[in-house]
Chains A and B, each alone.
Chain A
Amino acid sequence: MNAAWLPLTTLLTSLLAAVVIFTLPENARRLRTSANLLAAVGKIILVGLMAVRVSAGHEDTFSFQIVGNVDFVLRADALGVMFAGLSSLLWLCTTVYAIGYLEGSANRKRFFGFFSLCVASTLGIALAGNLFTFLIFYEMLTLSTYPLVVHAGTQKALDAGRIYLRYTLSAGVVLLLGAVLLYALTGEHSFSSEAGLGNYLADHRGLLLLIFALLVGGLAVKAAMVPLHGWLPRAMVAPAPVSALLHAVAVVKAGAFGILRVIYDLYGIELSVELGVTTALAVMASITIIYGSLRALAQQELKPRLAFSTISQVSYVVLGVSLFGPFGTIGALAHLLHQGLMKVTLFFCAGNYAEELGVHRIDEMDGAGRRMPLTSLAFTIGALGMIGLPPLAGFITKWYLGVGAVQAQMYWVVAVLVASSSLNAMYFLPILHRLWFRTGPAHGQGQWPKEQRLGRLETHGWLLWPMVFTALASLGAGLLAGLPFSPLDWASRVAYGEYLP
């Protein structure tokens, strides 16, 4: 039985939320908050329903014809539901956080409206059933994130927005060209078709390579792969919840997810290996991983350091994809989820330090563990996870990636993983040291840059609890990785579906 309404309704919940928020007046704070939370919770339930349906073997599809050979298709398959689950879960957390973060500031209606649109686009990307549909939501994501990046309305924010558009819109044009070339070559090509593009290999090898380069080149901009990463550190001027969502889920993951779709569902992994593109991709990803870590090491402020860390971490996903074999794939997919959870935690923490204490620079963080223990604990969990310490979530993905590299006989990848982990340790451990072992304003030495007492606990409750939740989730994703419906379990399900027909 095909429940076509399910993917459609899931998409419409956040679209509808956006419309409702735009029609409400600016100062209807209560109503807006209720609409936001209602939609977020409703969407989690719907995505949960989809997950149950997928594990029961259904693939709910909604489609209609747009023109000749082009259809609009939403399909709930295992990979899509995985990404949808991540984005809807983090949407709820980030919404709660954003409500607390933007308390009393201007233009909240605009913010939450575009925020909902942004999540709707992410969900559309997750559920898109063919390249055309994917493209629609991919560009929608670009447009709906722009107002969030420039939200502050300052010169710096507007400049960042301009850079962001320059990168993403050019990438969109490249992607569009690749998509049109592919459609002209093959006609309608659904992500769910088993055939892959192997039939075209004999006659159109060059064209297939060109199309691959265009598609992945276009997607790599959003995935912030070096040298196309320039927009991301600048986009840090956005409010903290936006950084959290952009970096953990929406934009960068959309790019990485698109690369997954291209390799697994469009070209097919065998063809990609045959064309030799996976090796090239692995090299690019490795360069990005090392370069991102090195740049992160050089940053003196917290948010830019996290941004460069994102650049490095997202390429783990791409690296895993380009290792031929189930372990690499599982590592890639699981990292998509794990990195999302950990990074969102870290950005929430950064936002809390900035809001409560006015701390932006790393050398101002001395002794903050005493003043804000929960936040610092969450930060520690996130940071150690990023480094890949067992039994945290990050360890599991690095382990799978390493095994995958050995299986694919690409031993140099192991060296990259080791180097990257040590670099991660080099830029995260000093922060942890400052948090817990140095003495600072909390011990009576000096003052915080701009301290506010936002709540009864260490900070405002709306800021605190989402962060605690995501920290626990990233802890749980590692500890309970063996349970059904854990990120690792779901990633394995997708991977075996890909390799074992």
Chain B
Amino acid sequence: MIWRFGLFDGTFEPLASTHWALVAALGLPLLLGMLAARLPPRQAWPVLLASVPVLASGLMLLSAYDQAGPLRWQWDIAGIQLSLRLNGLSVLMLLMTQVIGVAAALYTPGYLRLSEPGPLSRWLWPLMGVVLSTLSLIWLATDLLTLYAALELMGLAAVGMLMLSAKASALVAGMRYLLLALVGSLTYLLGVALILGHWGRLDLPGLAEVVEPGPVAWFAAALIGAGLALKAALFPLHAWLTPVHESAWTPVSALHAALVVKASLFILLQLWSILLPDAFYAPRVIAWLGMLAIVWGGLLAWRTDSLKTLVASSTVAQLGYLMVVFPLLLGPDVAPLSRALAWDGFWLQLIGHAFAKAAMFMAAGNLMLATGESTLKGVAGTSRRMPLSLLVLGVAAVTLMGLPPSAGFTAKWLLLDAMVRSQQWWAIAALLIGSLLTAAYVFRLFRYSFYESAPHHHYQPLAPGMDLIALTLALAAFALGLLAHFPLTLLHGGGA
């Protein structure tokens, strides 16, 4: 299982231009964020201009990977060996991060102009840069220390971003998030300390060779797992998520739900496949919790009256889909074909959800900005006035419901196929019930939007492009369904 993360191969020396692409991918978001704090952009076009080199660096890394296979960088700093690796999975995650990051950045100027955010708004840019840079680092890092540092930095920046709106509720929710994130980091750090004390090394490839199952590995895995689950808002440690999103700015929510929580999940899966390669119970516990997450998140989203809570709660349920796959990825006695299908389905679901959720937050944000309402009833009748925002919401929702032809559907198909082959009937039931629950809360929202007898609000016009950015993301999630072949080919190249 661990070979799929591509930790062992690729001693190949990258070309000089690839080095620059790496530096750009890791550093540019941070640098541009700093620059934007100094000169906050008021229009979308400077952001567009600035994002060209970022995207170019991602594409260059993609082509380098395409030509040369997995790449590896190594440095010796004061006796500690640091290394980064780039395999198919990292490329995929990196591209996802950059595209969604750029979309959120492009969305931001228009949003800030319309919502009169106050003096703190310029600090959004550097924080966004930090989040994107550290995310890129997380996809590439191969040792526990780098991972820890990046995770910590990303968490702090995320807290900062979420609190920027400076409402009282945002501060309370943000402080709680900060506290929990710190607890999570601390737990994670304890696990790392345990590993360092026992095996004396922190690099993942080395650890994968020396770790043997036993109480130490289990204990370390439990600590790391708990810490990361808290950060990833995995059920039942998800309670902080909704209040945080409730009062955050739209682009921040989009980035956070689409990418930040996924990073912790990525690390969790990577570390557990080293520490618990053949554990029976641990992945099953996650899967059971995942089933509860699907049901609970769905019910929360179904019962709520607030638009943002609906979108945020749906994240809890959608993460449940990913948790349910754990026994197929980590457990013993899984046929290679099932495992391969589950692996593909897992990442496709993750990517599809990232795009769809970002689009959905933006579309919901647009609706709220235009109507000035934040409840489901507030959007009543918008199907006539704001068809495009609603269409984006619809297209994104199709992915969440896992209906064809979206990435969510293809991912669900792969996961179901894997589960049928390994006869995990409970997981199948959870997935199918989850789809129905998702449909229930999504169409509850649409039902309101079709009301013809609704009172007419005063509608604030949106900045140009705000709907189009969201639409692009939603369509990307859509297109990944039928064109899943391309990302999955990248994934397969990872360990070959």
The size bracket of the interface on A is 35 or more
B277 within 8 A of A: no
Instruction: Tell me whether B453 is interfacial, beta carbon within 8 Å.
Output: yes
Q: Is A66 an interface residue (CB 8 A)?
A: yes
Apart from A67-B344, A67-B414, A158-B450, list 14 A-B contacts with CB within 8 A.
Answer: A66-B410, A66-B485, A67-B413, A67-B488, A132-B413, A136-B404, A140-B403, A143-B398, A152-B452, A169-B435, A176-B416, A177-B416, A180-B420, A181-B420
What's the Cα separation between A109 and B484 when bound, in Å?
32
Query: Are B453 and A72 within 8 A (Cβ)?
Result: no
Interface string of A180-220 (1 = CB under 8 A from B): 11011000000000000000000000000000000000000
B416 touches A67 (CB 8 A): no
B interface residue numbers (CB < 8 A to A)? 341, 344, 383-384, 387, 391, 398, 403-405, 409-410, 412-414, 416-417, 420-421, 428, 432, 435-436, 439, 443, 446-447, 450-453, 481-485, 488
Bound CA span A70–B453, Å: 46
Asked whether B451 lies within 8 Å of A158 as measured between CB atoms, the reply is yes
Residue pairs across A and B with Cβ atoms less than 8 A apart, 19 shown, are: A65-B485, A66-B481, A67-B410, A67-B488, A109-B387, A140-B405, A146-B446, A150-B447, A153-B450, A153-B452, A153-B453, A154-B452, A154-B453, A157-B450, A158-B447, A169-B439, A173-B435, A177-B432, A180-B413
CA of A433 to CA of B94, assembled, Å: 73
User: How far apart sit A338 and B341, CA to CA, in the bound complex (Å)?
Assistant: 45
A107, B383: Cβ atoms closer than 8 Å: yes
* Other-chain residue from B432, B453, B482, B488 in contact with A176 (beta carbon distance below 8 A): B432
Is A22 part of the binding interface, using a Cβ–Cβ cutoff of 8 Å?
Answer: yes
Q: Report yes or no: B410 in contact with A180, Cβ–Cβ below 8 A.
A: no
> CB-CB < 8 A to A70: which residues of B?
413
Contacts of A300 in B (CB 8 A): none
For B387, the chain A residues whose CB sits under 8 A away are 22, 109-110
One digit per residue, 1 when the CB lies within 8 angstroms of any chain B CB and 0 when it does not, for chain A 19-38 equals: 00010000000000000000
- What CA separation (Å) do A110 and B410 show in the bound complex? 28
**Nearest chain A CB to B451 CB, angstrom units:** 6
Q: Is the CB of A140 within 8 A of B404?
A: yes
For the complex, give the distance between the alpha carbons of A173 and B402 in Å.
10
Q: How far is the CA of A480 from the CA of B449 in the complex (A)?
A: 49
A162 and B447 within 8 A (CB): yes
With a CB–CB cut-off of 8 A, which chain A residues contact B481?
66
List B contacts of A152 (CB < 8 A).
452
> Does A170 sit within 8 A of B, measured CB to CB?
yes
Chain A residues with CB below 8 A from B405, complex form: 136, 140
Contact between chains at B420 and A106 (CB < 8 Å): no
Instruction: Tell me whether chain A's interface is mostly helix, strand or loop, or mixed.
Output: helix
Q: Which of B344, B416, B446 contacts A180 (CB 8 A)?
A: B416
In the bound complex, how far is the Cα of B447 from the Cα of A54, in angstroms? 43
Chain A residues numbered 1-53 whose CB sits less than 8 Å from any CB in chain B: 22
Write out, one digit per residue, whether chain A residues 66-81 have a CB within 8 A of any chain B CB (1) or not (0): 1110101000000000
Whether a CB of chain B sits under 8 angstroms from the CB of A165 is yes
- Tell me if A281 is interfacial: C-beta within 8 Å of chain B: no
Report Cα–Cα, A188/B248, bound state, in Å: 46
A458 at the interface (CB under 8 A from B): no
Chain B nearest CB, measured from A10 CB (Å): 17
- Whether a CB of chain B sits under 8 angstroms from the CB of A442 is no
Q: Does A268 contact B (CB under 8 A)?
A: no
The CA of A70 and the CA of B417, in the complex, are separated in Å by 11
Name the B residues within 8 Å of A139 (CB-CB): 403-404, 409
Q: In the complex the two chains form, what is the Cα distance from A153 to B383 in whole Å? A: 10
B428 in contact with A106 (CB, 8 Å): no
Cβ of B488 and Cβ of A150 under 8 Å apart?
A: no
Asked if A172 is at the interface (CB within 8 A of a chain B CB), the reply is yes
| Chain B residues whose CB sits within 8 angstroms of the CB of A184 once the complex forms | 417, 420-421
Q: Which residues of B contact A170 (CB under 8 A)?
A: 436
Bitwise, A311-351 to B at CB < 8 A (1) or not (0) is 00000000000000000000000000000000000000000
A173-B435, A173-B436, A180-B417 are contacts. A147–B450 as well, Cβ < 8 Å? yes
B485 touching A67 by the CB < 8 A rule? yes
Tell whether, in the assembled complex, residue A150 and residue B450 are in contact, meaning their CB atoms are under 8 Å apart. yes
Is residue A135 within 8 Å, beta carbon to beta carbon, of the partner chain? yes
Q: How far is the CA of A129 from the CA of B381 in the complex (A)?
A: 40
Indicate with 1 or 0, residue by residue over A220-249, a CB within 8 angstroms of chain B CB atoms.
Answer: 000000000000000000000000000000
A161 within 8 A of B: yes
CB distance from B164 to the nearest CB of A (A): 35
Tell me the minimal C-beta distance from B401 to chain A in angstroms. Answer: 8
Contacts of A147 in B (CB 8 A): 450
From B414, B446, B452, B482, residue with most partner A Cβ within 10 Å: B452
One of A106, A135, A162 near B384 (C-beta < 8 A): A106
Are B484 and A165 in contact, CB atoms less than 8 angstroms apart?
A: no
Q: Specify which chain B residues have a CB less than 8 angstroms from the CB of A181 in the assembled complex.
A: 420
Contacts of A135 in B (CB 8 A): 404
Chain A residues contacting B446 (CB-CB under 8 Å) are 146
**Cα separation A459 to B278 with both chains bound (whole Å):** 75
Give the residues in chain B near A180, CB-CB below 8 Å. 413, 416-417, 420
Q: Which of A154, A165, A176 has the most CB of B within 10 A?
A: A176
Residues of chain A contacted by B432 (CB below 8 angstroms): 173, 176-177
- Residues of chain B within 8 A (CB-CB) of A146 are 443, 446
Binary interface encoding of chain A residues 409-447 relative to chain B, with 1 for a CB under 8 A from any of its CBs, else 0? 000000000000000000000000000000000000000
A110 B452 Cβ-Cβ under 8 A = no
Which chain A residues lie closer than 8 Å to B483 at the CB level?
Answer: 66
Contact of A107 among B384, B409, B416, B485 (CB under 8 A): B384
Contact status B451-A162, CB under 8 Å: no
B403 contacts A143, C-beta separation under 8 Å: yes
A236 to chain B, nearest CB (A): 17
B482 contacts A66, C-beta separation under 8 Å: yes
- Give the docked Cα–Cα distance between A110 and B421 (Å): 42
* B483 closest partner in A (C-beta): A66
A102–B435 CA distance with the chains assembled, in angstroms: 35
CA–CA, A132 and B481, complex, Å: 12
Residues of chain B contacted by A106 (CB below 8 angstroms) = 384, 452
Closest to A165 in B: B443
Chain A residue nearest to B448 in the complex (CB): A158
CA distance A150 to B421 in the complex (A): 40
Q: A184's closest neighbor in chain B, by CB?
A: B420
- A132-166 CB mask vs B (1 if < 8 Å, else 0) is 10011101101100110010111001100110010
Q: How far is the CB of B428 from chain A (nearest CB, A)?
A: 7
Q: How far is the CB of B321 from the nearest CB of chain A, in Å?
A: 14
A142 — which chain B residues lie within 8 A by C-beta? 403
A161-B447 contact in complex given A70-B413, A170-B436, A177-B428, C-beta closer than 8 Å: yes
The distance in angstroms between the C-alpha atoms of A70 and B348, with both chains bound, is: 15
CB of A258, distance to nearest CB on chain B (Å): 15
- Complex alpha-carbon distance, A486 and B370, angstroms: 55
Which residues of chain A (88-109) have a CB below 8 Å from chain B? Answer: 106-107, 109
- Complex CA–CA separation, A161 to B448 (angstroms): 12
Please name the residue on chain A nearest to B381 by beta carbon.
A153
Residue in B closest to A150 when the chains form the complex, CB atoms: B450
Cβ contacts under 8 Å, B453 to chain A: 153-154
Name the CB-closest residue of B to A70: B413
Cβ–Cβ contact B414 & A22, under 8 A = no
What's the minimum C-beta distance from B204 to chain A, rounded to whole angstroms?
Answer: 29
Min Cβ gap B455→A in Å is: 14
Q: Is the pair A67, B420 in contact by a Cβ cutoff of 8 Å?
A: no
A67–B416 alpha-carbon span in the complex (Å):
14
- With contact pairs A66-B482, A67-B488 given, residues A172 and B403 touching in the complex (Cβ less than 8 Å): yes
Q: Which residue of A lies closest to B414 (CB)?
A: A67
Interface string of A356-376 (1 = CB under 8 A from B): 000000000000000000000
* Contact status of A153 and B451, CB under 8 A, knowing A66-B484, A162-B443, A177-B428: yes
Contact with B along A456-491 (1 / 0, CB 8 A): 000000000000000000000000000000000000
User: Chain A: which residue is nearest B447 at the CB level?
Assistant: A158
A110 to chain B, nearest CB (A): 6
Given A139-B403, A150-B450, A158-B447; A68-B383 close (CB under 8 Å): no
**In the docked arrangement, what's the CA distance between A181 and B436, Å?**
19
